[in-house]
Structure 1
Amino acid sequence: MIYIRIFCAQFELTKLTCEEGFVLYKQTFNKSYQEDEKMHFNIFCSNFRDVVELLKTDPNLPIGLVPMMDSYVNKYNRKSNMNKYYKTKPQNDICSAINPLPDLMTVYSSVDLREMDLITPSKSQGTYLWSQVFSTNAIFENSILRDKKNLNSFWQTKVSPSILNLSEQYLMSNLLCDSCNYDGIIFRTFNDALYNTVPGNLFQRDPPRKPISTVDLMENYPFDYNKYLANWTSNIALPTKLLPENILLPLKFFNNSGVQYMVNWCNLYAAKTPIVKIFDDDKQNFNISTIKTIQSYLSRGLAIAMNIFIGSGPQQIIFQNFKGNTILHNECEQIFSSGDHAVTIVGYGKKSGKDVWVIKNSFGEQWGDQGFFFLEIGKNSYCSEQFAYTSIPKYFDMTETTPYSRGTLKRGLTYTLDCDNYFTNISGKVDCYDTCPPAYPVLLETNQCVNISCPSDKIYVEHNQCSSKCTTNAYYVSGSINICVPFCSGFFIQITSSSKQCIEKCPESSPYYQPGTCVSKCSSGIYSAVNKKLVCQDVCNSVFVLNASNDNSKQCLQSCPSDAPYSDAGLCSIRCASGAYSIIDNQYICQDSCSLFITNISNQNSKQCIKFCPLAAPYYDPGSCSVSCTSGYFTVESGVQQFFCQQHCALFINMNNQRQCVKQCPLEAPFNDSGLCQVLCSSNTFLVINSIQTCVSNCSKYFVQQQNQQLCVSSCTTPLTYINGTECVHSCKYFKQTGSENICVNSCQIFQIQDGLKKCLEKCNGDVVNGECHMKEKNTIKFVIITVPAAVGGIIVLIILIVTVKCCQKRTVLRKSNTKAQLKENMKQKLISTNKSQL
């Protein structure tokens, strides 16, 4: 018979044999075996020896007997199989939606969904690698509890965490694959259960099953792998036992975004999905934004599915056999960042002063802290912060902008998050408060509210005992009772001749807070007002003002006040000593001088250094920006609208009653009239000098009409070749030629028609008829040669002399019969007749 020893401390396990440990194990967890007890004993012994070896190394490790020690050996010791199960990242099999919910403006300081009655107790997955099914079902159960107000009467009877119990067996048996040992790939379960095919799945059933349309209850399908193995191997899905009116798939569906090569498949086979992607990246862990998003979901009462990687070796043994509520930690090995175990985030907050996630596991309530455990936020412990997905309840109001009601916080021995502010601990029951309740008015240094009544001669409480004074160097917190503390956390210290008191605010007699102590004056003479407290500083990082009422001590400020707006070497003043200042980041900063522009300001005639003159005083008149130039002349700098005053300029235009200097007159005022660019010359006369149209009083020689103006020219050229006075014109009635110029005249005695104009002549070498000169034409002699064919093979050549006589008195024309053509014809006929008579 084996003698049983029961030990109170975990480290006493090291003194037990394997046989003794197995008996203790069966008693502790009420284990009995109908068959295969030897097999379970061997498995237990293997695990028990691992635990004992670690406890011998470190007796303080949080490990011990757990319910599953008889069920598996090195469940996660499968590095050699990683490529088989995790060759691709989990999301390669996930169709998901983009997160549709914006982050809440305000989230809770801490959340535990158990306190909101929105999460069920931890269940045990036993010997099977089904953690992803348990994590998925945890999301289903959370959705039903969150939607409880919108469900029918059947589900209303189930909406309590202690009653609601969905069947993992029903979900697992209805997956669409034959070998779903992808433990840790959380929402692959969703894809397999909700869609009729999974691309690239080597174990897909043939023919494929129909996707599930509802969840089912544990009472209908208890968790029993062997019982339903026949259905599994025969590809027979489990039918739901719920009545048609109670069928429920408690999820909201969204447009599918798809991932990587899955996009086309997701759009084709799963246009809508309930899976919401929060974060998925094996190269980096959660950033601040992701943490805020997860906290927003949890503050709304919505759980998040998470992957972790447990691996093998001592850390696997510690996690597998974890007991207690300490914060777990294991460095993440990047090569295994895909994860090998699925869990559910159900809360966050502080534990022992550290920011942690509250996580639900699937090893049963006698593992860890009632089946839950804690990981520090931001540490990526167990590679936990690389993969997060969730779903949104079917009837969730997407317009909600405030957190879900937390109810009563059940901290302490029930749930072990720290309280946000103050707490009471009555017989192990911890209640959280924003301020200490009247029944427990005394605040200890641990933020615990207590009720202690002390006699008048012992008005101090130290170590929860009444005392006449605090021990040496101790402080006390004043209230309805004086609590002795080792230091003033979050308080100021008022030092008197007899004690050191922790107070919330420094008194008027000692208004300055100098590291921990209230003083009448800062030793450095420098202080800042921080959260309505006057805090001493060594130096001012920005600007300061002098406090004349306190020996000119310096008060540090972020910016100068309105009654002393100028910062002169850090000192806020009414005006700058130099009279010059710049505006930098909306602050007035004094300058010794201005390298750029300055403008006169009505405030003490100080000078503001600026880069450009303002619109109110746009003219830079050396030394200041003005509304106008004193000289009346200005130029415009190329590229910027800046006006620079000048003493004078050769060419200008009128602009805003000012004279703008220009290099050349613009098209709208092209004429230079005594330096002023005008639309027209005042004299209506101009000449062109170096391409500049310059106005003159009169032309020195000739002009042509142009743009209603007289353009001066040195000579009249084509087409204006005639000179009428001093104007070049196209034509005139009479003209005479003087050298190379054609001068228009009113009349002349003798003229000759030339190109339609009357050209005056001194004399006429011909006849003058009505003043027009007709020139004499000389007699001309022309010879006409006519060839006539002879009668006997020859040619007779006739030469006819034609004499034309032109009379000087008048022009005469030969009679029609005497024309050249007629003469030729007559001569020809005579020759022919003569030729015939000879024949």
Structure 2
Amino acid sequence: MFTIITYSLQLNCNITQDEGCDISYAKFANCYNKQISQDSKLQFCESLKQLLSIIQTCDTCDVTSTMDQVLNTGGLINLPTRKSAGNAITDCKNKLACNRINPLETVSQIYESVDLKEAGLVTTPRAQGNCGSCWAFGTTAALENSMLHDKSHYTGTIWEQNNYDLSELYLVMNSQNSSYCKGGNFITAINEYDLGSVLKTVELEINFVYTTWITEQSKFGVSKYTPKIQLSDYTLPYKQYKVFDGQVSTDTGLIYIYLDSYNTFTTKARKEIKSYLSRGIVVVGTMAAGFSNSFPHYSGKSWTGEACPCSKYPEGTSNYIVCIQKYMDHQITFVGYGKKNGVDVWVVRNSWSSGWGAGGNFYVPIGSNAFCIETTALTVIPKYYDASAGVYANIGSHSRGSSTELDSDSAQLILNDGSYIGMPNKLPQWATVLIVIGSIAGLIIIISTICCCVNRKKRGYELQQQTNVVQTVPAVQQRFNGGGRTL
């Protein structure tokens, strides 16, 4: 008689695959301290059903705290058409697509790993909810980063409190050229800040709390928010550059690093992005999130990635172009890079709350173009940034046992040894000569020591052999003599 033993897959919160949704939801609510409701339960059960259908083939999937919520991946509208003009790729005629090509030189020595969330240069990710406002979260992340980078320069009545948690709702409600919960993009948002007609300043989250956006839907396109901060505290926390596209001259803060829907980041672009991150400056990007069944269930335990849905189309064909336009749906922010489980990855900030993924962030293998994430790189430069300053102090090479390995997301700087990639600065000639002489002398000593040890060992072996012969010969003679024979 045979006994068949079956094992039930166990997930986070001790949820198993065969216990039924009622039991699983009760465990989930207790695990994440959730307020129980019928709507929450229905959403959780739908998410759990989807998770169980893919869990056998998805190493990075698990139960997460957001499974009772709708995770909106929409909200990115097409980026404006662009044309080249001098040192900028720009279209300033309508004042909504002006930008400056990267004005900063690539840093010759960059950190081996960077995690800006651990260095306090980005705030804790919040959830965009069932609203296509990822564009506002990506924009606000860049603006917050600029203020956190330059906080020693903000000494106004509110900024001296070091409160740089900015309001996404203020941006969502006041952007005239985005579509609120139906979409927008970082390019249009920064250009609107540059224009200063309605978006005259950044605002504090405590003045316009994002969770109220549902009650404000009736005001979309009707009412704009008036800033609550004092006029003396109005702030646009980034540098602006003069650009000219042949028709219009204007100031813009939008910095172009890379934008190509049909090709992935070049080696040069990756170096520039890493240079910005080593300077402590975030980079805003785009991705295709909605096509993936596994992405909403990302557990944060390892890196994640799915092939860009456009990779199956030949580059340059009409199908390829349609595919790109269809799937690019989500604005995200690059906040670091390093190794995760031995894989070179980008650290990417999402807008689905801190309970999703790795503290609200996820890891994508560098060079994989997973989720089409290596197609867009834009940013703003902090207003008081000194271009000659090089890398930002005390943000890089976070490690536990390695200067390249990212840590376990404890939101603290760990073993920051400041290690660099690249050759060290050139030494003075006298120092170089001393190093060479010392190296040669050391090599001579090592060789002499080895030779000496070898000679001693050889002499000891020969002496032992002689002793053995002396002891052995008489015995041989005796044995043969006893037989009446001599050698």
State the TM-score, normalizing by the size of structure 1. 0.43
1:488-567 residue pairs with structure 2 within 5 A?
A: 507-508=446-447
1:340-351 residue pairs with structure 2 within 5 A?
A: 340-351=329-340
Selected match of 2:271 from 292, 300, 311? 292
The secondary structure found in structure 1 opposite 2:140 is helix
1:229 aligns with 2:251: no
- The 1:155–1:418 alpha-carbon spacing in structure 2 relative to 1, beyond 3 Å, is farther
1:7-406 residue pairs with structure 2 within 5 A?
A: 9=12, 12-32=15-35, 37-55=37-55, 57-58=56-57, 61-72=59-70, 75-76=72-73, 85-86=77-78, 94-159=97-162, 163-177=163-177, 179-181=179-181, 183=183, 185-195=185-195, 210-223=197-210, 224-233=212-221, 235-256=222-243, 264=247, 267=248, 271-312=250-291, 316-334=292-310, 335=320, 336-338=323-325, 339-398=328-387, 400-406=388-394
**8 A Cα contact 1:328 1:374, kept in partner:** yes
- The 1:377–1:213 alpha-carbon spacing in structure 2 relative to 1, beyond 3 Å, is same
Displacement of 1:213 after TM fit?
1.0
State the Cα RMSD in Å. 3.7
1:441-480 residue pairs with structure 2 within 5 A?
A: none
Number of the residue aligned with 2:425: none
Aligned equivalents of 2:139 and 2:279: distance in 1?
19
Q: Relative to total residues, which structure has the larger strand share, 1 or 2?
A: 1
Aligned equivalents of 1:167 and 1:326: distance in 2?
31
Report the AA paired with residue 362 of structure 1: S
Report the AA paired with residue 370 of structure 2: S
Cα deviation code 1:351-384 (max 9, x no counterpart): 2332211111111111111111111111111111
Report the AA paired with residue 327 of structure 1: W
Cα deviation code 1:241-300 (max 9, x no counterpart): 101221111111112356xxxx75xx27xx111100000111211111111111111111
Cα deviation code 1:742-799 (max 9, x no counterpart): xxxxxxxxxxxxxxxxxxxxxxxxxxxxxxxxxxxxxxxxxxxxxxxxxxxxxxxxxx
Aligned equivalents of 2:205 and 2:445: distance in 1?
62
Report the AA paired with residue 51 of structure 2: V
Displacement of 1:410 after TM fit?
5.1
- The 1:506–1:124 alpha-carbon spacing in structure 2 relative to 1, beyond 3 Å, is farther
Report the AA paired with residue 28 of structure 1: C
Number of the residue aligned with 2:469: none
- % identical equivalent positions: 25
**Structure 1: segments with no counterpart, 5+ residues:** 197-209, 436-503, 513-518, 521-839
**8 A Cα contact 2:112 2:403, kept in partner:** no
**8 A Cα contact 2:397 2:418, kept in partner:** no
Cα deviation code 1:372-401 (max 9, x no counterpart): 111111111111111110001112223x14
**8 A Cα contact 1:325 1:373, kept in partner:** no
Report the AA paired with residue 326 of structure 1: S
1:419 aligns with 2:395: no
Report the AA paired with residue 72 of structure 1: V
Cα deviation code 1:535-587 (max 9, x no counterpart): xxxxxxxxxxxxxxxxxxxxxxxxxxxxxxxxxxxxxxxxxxxxxxxxxxxxx
- The 1:311–1:6 alpha-carbon spacing in structure 2 relative to 1, beyond 3 Å, is closer
**8 A Cα contact 1:120 1:141, kept in partner:** yes
Aligned equivalents of 1:407 and 1:286: distance in 2?
24
Aligned equivalents of 1:378 and 1:54: distance in 2?
25
Aligned equivalents of 2:261 and 2:304: distance in 1?
21
Aligned equivalents of 2:297 and 2:244: distance in 1?
40
Aligned equivalents of 1:52 and 1:129: distance in 2?
27
Aligned equivalents of 1:422 and 1:49: distance in 2?
32
The secondary structure found in structure 1 opposite 2:52 is helix
Cα deviation code 1:491-510 (max 9, x no counterpart): xxxxxxxxxxxxx9994159
- The 1:53–1:506 alpha-carbon spacing in structure 2 relative to 1, beyond 3 Å, is farther
Aligned equivalents of 2:62 and 2:252: distance in 1?
42
Number of the residue aligned with 1:523: none
- The 1:331–1:88 alpha-carbon spacing in structure 2 relative to 1, beyond 3 Å, is farther
Aligned equivalents of 2:299 and 2:141: distance in 1?
22
Aligned equivalents of 2:403 and 2:178: distance in 1?
47
Number of the residue aligned with 2:482: none
Report the AA paired with residue 330 of structure 1: E
Aligned equivalents of 1:292 and 1:390: distance in 2?
15
Aligned equivalents of 2:352 and 2:269: distance in 1?
28
The secondary structure found in structure 1 opposite 2:199 is coil
Report the AA paired with residue 248 of structure 1: T
Aligned equivalents of 1:285 and 1:368: distance in 2?
24
- The 1:397–1:226 alpha-carbon spacing in structure 2 relative to 1, beyond 3 Å, is same
The secondary structure found in structure 2 opposite 1:40 is helix
The secondary structure found in structure 2 opposite 1:328 is coil
Aligned equivalents of 1:342 and 1:298: distance in 2?
18
**8 A Cα contact 2:333 2:350, kept in partner:** yes
Aligned equivalents of 1:305 and 1:281: distance in 2?
14
- The 1:65–1:422 alpha-carbon spacing in structure 2 relative to 1, beyond 3 Å, is closer
The secondary structure found in structure 2 opposite 1:329 is coil
Aligned equivalents of 1:254 and 1:422: distance in 2?
35
Greater mean deviation of Cα atoms: 108-117 or 118-127: 108-117
Aligned equivalents of 2:413 and 2:380: distance in 1?
34
- The 1:506–1:41 alpha-carbon spacing in structure 2 relative to 1, beyond 3 Å, is farther
- The 1:391–1:123 alpha-carbon spacing in structure 2 relative to 1, beyond 3 Å, is same
Displacement of 1:116 after TM fit?
2.9
Displacement of 1:433 after TM fit?
4.6
- The 1:331–1:39 alpha-carbon spacing in structure 2 relative to 1, beyond 3 Å, is same
**8 A Cα contact 2:307 2:370, kept in partner:** yes
- The 1:71–1:99 alpha-carbon spacing in structure 2 relative to 1, beyond 3 Å, is same
**8 A Cα contact 2:178 2:185, kept in partner:** no
Q: Relative to total residues, which structure has the larger helix share, 1 or 2?
A: 2
Number of the residue aligned with 2:5: none
Report the AA paired with residue 217 of structure 2: L
**8 A Cα contact 2:338 2:405, kept in partner:** no
Cα deviation code 1:663-703 (max 9, x no counterpart): xxxxxxxxxxxxxxxxxxxxxxxxxxxxxxxxxxxxxxxxx
State the TM-score, normalizing by the size of structure 2. 0.71
Displacement of 1:7 after TM fit?
6.2
- The 1:118–1:158 alpha-carbon spacing in structure 2 relative to 1, beyond 3 Å, is farther
The secondary structure found in structure 2 opposite 1:48 is helix
- The 1:94–1:25 alpha-carbon spacing in structure 2 relative to 1, beyond 3 Å, is farther
Aligned equivalents of 2:385 and 2:147: distance in 1?
10
Aligned equivalents of 1:195 and 1:422: distance in 2?
40
- The 1:257–1:356 alpha-carbon spacing in structure 2 relative to 1, beyond 3 Å, is farther
Matched residues, number: 394
- The 1:149–1:321 alpha-carbon spacing in structure 2 relative to 1, beyond 3 Å, is same
- The 1:344–1:358 alpha-carbon spacing in structure 2 relative to 1, beyond 3 Å, is same
